[in-house]
Amino acid sequence: MVGTRMKRRVAIVGAGMTLFRRRMLETGKELSFEATKMALDSAGLTLNDVDSVVSGSAPDAFDGVHMKGEYLLDGMGAIGKPYQRVYVGGGTGVFTPAAGWWNVASGFSDVCLCVAEEKMSPLHPHPQYAFWSIFDQILERPLGVTLLWIFSLEMRRYMHKYGIKEEEIATVAVKNKGNAIDHPCSQLASKITVDDVMNSEPICWPVKRLDVSPPSDGAATVILASEKVAKKLTDQPVWLDGIGWTLDSTHWTNRDLAYPEYVEKAARMAYKMAGIKNPRKEIDIAEVYDPFDYKELHHMEGLQLAGKGEAAKMAVEGITQRDGELPVCPSGGLLGVGNPIAAAGMMKICEIFWQLRGEAGKRQVKKDARTGLAQAWGDLMQVGTVCVMRS
């Protein structure tokens, strides 16, 4: 019921995702359909039960389709429904359920489908070329800037400021690609070693091939419901208790890249909403955005899960392993499962959903996880999006 300024509790009641692969033969509409059908089936719902749809998908340039949110909406089940596409670059996948949250919490909807999709493969000769167009036409494009270039700057700065070694960072790639072996949708699951990472092809020093996640196609969907509806549908609703997002200045060249302040602010917004005062103690499990291995560490610090410059130590000590004190990326993350930009963030939401319900199979973490977090990042190293979930 709209208009009474209420904040209703919102739960995730179903989830689904496709395989993540370098090139899927399905169209973006079909990928969306597969993930959404799976989510609806898992919750015992049909489109008739859905009040609204939110979609998340990153650059239209991948598909070469203008207003691609419109193009995709039939595959997302949105015909005849209130439909909105939200878009914050790489942060989109975790922002999509946040948008679902406000559709339901506001009273505008009782059941909201949140569909994240990405099809990067259409872009030739390589999806990375889409990222050429994210840069300022006058000040940056003439430099031939790429994402790999600017992230290597960030990685270098982070390593330099806190004295972190490449080998320490490489342990994250080893962990996540290994974790991904147990994820049925994973694209790049493999048992590798730190030496493998160190010997892999240099892309843009210090970034090497095995430090980076791949371009991918895929889709993932969650279904959000109001408390009343959620309790009717399932004994195990996963409450979306906190959402947060923050965007930093366009002028990334003027910022100290060593610390993601915008991730901290996004996290604090979500923690405040969820009533979390000591994240390091209260967060049991975290899906932290890992398009590059150093990013998992960088973001853990922004999320207040590690002190500044201290995440590497936690990784090396095994604290972030599945059987560790604070499992990070038990799914295998972007490094292992794949990185279809928006769908990758949503994959993390799905993972926390399944983990908090004890449905993560071989990936299930050892500890009794009750409170989980998913985080994504993107733009010009600029945006943090965070969701806090509870069983």
Binding mask 89-118 for another protein (x = CB under 8 A): x-----x---x-xxx-xxxx----------
Structure tokens given for 204: 């843009």
Q: How far is CA 325 from the centre of its chain?
A: 22
Listed ranges 75-83, 223-231, 324-332, 342-350: which one lies at the site for another protein (CB under 8 A)? 75-83
Q: How many residues bind another protein (CB under 8 A)?
A: 70
How far apart are CB 259 and another protein at their closest, in Å? 13
Residue 340, φ and ψ in degrees, nearest 5: -80, 105
Task: Choose which of 12, 39, 58, 300 interacts with another protein (CB under 8 A).
Answer: 58
The correct pick among 21, 208, 379, 388 for binding another protein (CB under 8 A) is: 379
Asked if residue 52 lies in contact with residue 223, where contact means CB atoms within 8 angstroms, the answer is no
By CB under 8 A, residue 61 contacts another protein: yes
Q: How far apart are CA 391 and CA 377, in angstroms?
A: 25
What is the three-class DSSP state of 384?
strand
Does position 7 interact with another protein (CB under 8 A)? The reply is yes
- Options 215-223, 259-267, 283-291, 320-328: segment touching another protein (CB under 8 A): 259-267
| Binding residues among 184-243 for another protein as defined by CB under 8 A | 243
Residue 385: partners with Cβ closer than 8 Å, 6 or more residues away: 88, 91, 92, 93, 94, 95, 98, 244, 245, 266, 345, 375, 376, 377
Examine residue 159 and tell whether it contacts another protein (CB under 8 A). no
CA distance 185 to 153: 31
For residue 178, the 8-state DSSP code is H
Of residues 119 and 298, the one with the C-beta less far from another protein:
119
Whole-angstrom distance, CA of residue 57 vs CA of residue 118: 6
Task: State the residues that interact with another protein by CB under 8 A.
Answer: 1-8, 27, 58-61, 63-67, 69-74, 78-89, 95, 99, 101-103, 105-108, 130-131, 133-134, 136-137, 243-251, 261-262, 265-266, 269, 378-380, 382-383
